[in-house]
Structure 1
Amino acid sequence: MTAPRPAYFRQLSPTRFEATEFTSGAWNTSEQHIAPAIGLLAHLIEADHRSRGGQLRLASLSCDILGVLAIGEFDVEVSVVRPGRTIELVEAVLTSGGRTGVRARAWMLQTADTEGVAGSGFAAMPALASTPPFPFGETWEGQCVKTLEVRREQLGAGRGRSWVRTDTELLAGATVSEHARFVGMLDFANGLVPRANPAEIAFPNVDLNVSFFRAPAGDWLGLDTTVSFGPDAVGLTESVVHDEHGPVGTLSQTLTIRA
């Protein structure tokens, strides 16, 4: 009998979920890494949209990270802010321990054939096969980063290009889109090419904003990342997001820098 695959979350009811030990975070191992939680919110937004007969695509996701998340049970409520047949705005709110931990808003947009004008000026990623493996789990604490397979080309302090994938299920037993699975790996961008030693300087992000001009596909997430620190304890991590076929969108994370 085949053993079940490890998963970041289990569903306990339509709105209640449980984080597993595989979400154990990088800054504090008793807290969740926020990356899988954001992926779960994207999945639930998509699932709610499909349950209402919607055919729109998730085009952007803006997340405010309002606090740390304990490893354990939490609730998620999904609501439609702006309904529409061609454009819809949906919100998902994660509540843990009686307070809001993450608030995410997604624009769902109509799709059509625009192949004739499709294109992008973003530079290509290095070939997956030529990008060396990177021991991400040795840089950061927690089980979550250890669920990843990472390849990285370091270009300087806070500058690099990485390929990331995971065999860990986002939600145990659930069918999850490639889109939501990609979203569930995006927040790792901030730790892949740090400007400073995370044992000496903390630089957690307070938000995550991603826009997709193409729906991603395949197992590997590519991140062409630049990390910037300002002179007054505020920073920014920016990435061009790729799949194995090319660029698909952009990602930004605002940082609070603390010694």
Structure 2
Amino acid sequence: MPEAAFTALGDNRFRASVLTRGPWDLQQQHAGPPIALVSYALEAAAQTHGLQHMARLTANLLRPVPIGDVEVRVQEDYVGRNAGHFSAVVLAGGKELMRATALFQREDDVALPDGLPGHPLPLAPQPPADATPQRMQFLHDAISYPDLMETRVAVGRMFGGPSAVWFRFRYPLVAGHTPGPYQRVAVAADSGNGISAVLDLSTHLFVNSDLTINLLRKPVGEWICLDARTHLSSHGGGLAESALYDEAGLIGRATQSLFVRKRA
């Protein structure tokens, strides 16, 4: 088994291992690991300005990401006193595979008054200690994303409609580095359309072309829960949305635009 999802090669280049393999093609990555890798690179750029909280990450998935060497380039778009906007591209073989933008904010202590509507924030449907361990199932048995991530079902059934599932890294994202809180969210959030699937993986494609994550605070702990559901139209489109939790409660939301087709 590889030691990590990616190995840093220097000069902003990384080599993907088979732990990143996705469900659709044996030679292509699940989008979660490369989105988390983008988060890893963006966080490093933002932290040089003292911006610690990633409030939003949007990834546009232009092309499938192969299991091989990729380059991540980060750009500062604008950095102000309390917030900074950054962008990144993922490249391989001379082609852009992914474009991402992120909003980072400066953290500060703000005392909230008692009795605010909707507060305290809700907890996940069930804590990970009480959830049922279950390996995510792909149509193939090759080493892949389900080996990278430990999963526990809190509510529902994976690939069987609305469900809540806890995710935790089994292996590092980048060899030699402990995954950070935002990387833990990014690697899991792209699975919302899978765990809440309402169509059969063997008969239909329901691939997301983007992912947007909005976070109200920095996650804590190793576990991230997606309480996900999928909504479909009869015109080949759909939307997967996930409420995101850590063990302390709600941390944000994630959405994915879906391209839906019947398999040939």
Q: TM-score if structure 2 supplies the norm length? A: 0.89
Match of residue 233 from structure 1: 236
Structure 1 alignment gaps of length 5 or more? none
CA contact (8 A) 1:29 1:141 kept: no
1:80 to 76, 81, 89: 76
Match of residue 213 from structure 2: 210
CA contact (8 A) 1:125 1:246 kept: no
AA aligned to 1:202 is L
CA contact (8 A) 1:57 1:111 kept: yes
Distance 1:124 1:243 in 2: 7
Match of residue 64 from structure 2: 68
CA contact (8 A) 1:15 1:75 kept: yes
AA aligned to 2:129 is A
Distance 2:90 2:202 in 1: 29
1:169 to 168, 172, 177: 172
Percent of aligned pairs sharing the same letter: 28
Distance 2:55 2:16 in 1: 26
1:195 to 183, 195, 198: 198
CA contact (8 A) 2:2 2:17 kept: no
What are the residue-to-residue correspondences of 1:36-185 with 2, within 5 Å?
36-50=33-47, 52-117=48-113, 119=119, 122=122, 124-137=124-137, 142=142, 143-152=144-153, 153-154=155-156, 157-185=160-188
Structure 2 alignment gaps of length 5 or more? none
Match of residue 224 from structure 1: 227
> Is 1:19 aligned to 2:23, yes or no?
no
- Provide closer, same or farther for how the CA distance between residues 138 and 74 of structure 1 changes in structure 2, counting only shifts above 3 A: closer
CA contact (8 A) 2:2 2:18 kept: no
Distance 1:96 1:141 in 2: 26
Residue by residue over 1:137-172, the C-alpha shift from the partner in whole angstroms, topping out at 9 and shown as x without a partner, is 356655112222211221794211111112211111
Q: TM-score if structure 1 supplies the norm length? A: 0.91
Q: 3-state DSSP class of the match of 1:204?
A: strand
Tell me the CA shift for residue 82 of structure 1: 1.3
Tell me the CA shift for residue 127 of structure 1: 2.8
Q: What is the aligned-residue RMSD (CA, Å)?
A: 2.1
Tell me the CA shift for residue 209 of structure 1: 0.3
Match of residue 245 from structure 1: 248
1:34 to 31, 48, 65: 31
Tell me the CA shift for residue 129 of structure 1: 3.0
Number of corresponding residues: 255
CA contact (8 A) 1:41 1:92 kept: yes
Q: 3-state DSSP class of the match of 2:192?
A: helix
Residue by residue over 1:89-117, the C-alpha shift from the partner in whole angstroms, topping out at 9 and shown as x without a partner, is 00011011211111110001122222414
